[in-house]
Amino acid sequence: MSREPEVVITAYPDGPYLVRGAYRIVDEDGNEIGLTRRTVALCRCGRSGQKPWCDSSHKLSNFRTPAKTPRSSLPHKKDDPGGRPGLL
């Protein structure tokens, strides 16, 4: 039995989401965006000129994130309020 390759997404403080591991990124039509890097940075501030990638515009705009997101504030699936956080 093989194990799924692990993908780790890290919310970088005051910056992008860093995606590491055996990820796949697809466009809105489901076409895979071919990448050779093991780590990519996805824009979280909304100001990148190269979305979905981070182009460091967050630094110029002084983007700030909350210190920590409390688990209790994460959204739950509407029909399963006791379900896993973050699944809508």
Residues lying near ligand FES in the complex (CB under 6 A) are found at 15-16, 43-45, 47-48, 54-58
Helix (H, G, I), strand (E, B) or coil at 71: helix
Judged by beta carbon, residue 15 or residue 19, the one nearer ligand FES is 15
Judged by beta carbon, residue 23 or residue 42, the one nearer ligand FES is 42
Work out how close the CB of 34 gets to ligand FES at its nearest, in angstroms, rounded to a whole number. Answer: 22
In this structure, what token pair is assigned to residue 64? 């700030």
Judged by beta carbon, residue 52 or residue 76, the one nearer ligand FES is 52
b (16+ CB within 10 A) / e for 23-34: beeeeeeeeeee
Work out how close the CB of 66 gets to ligand FES at its nearest, in angstroms, rounded to a whole number. Answer: 15
Closest residue by Cα to residue 53 from 17, 3, 9, 10: 17
Work out how close the CB of 81 gets to ligand FES at its nearest, in angstroms, rounded to a whole number. Answer: 31
Task: Judge contact between 12 and 43, C-beta under 8 A.
Answer: no
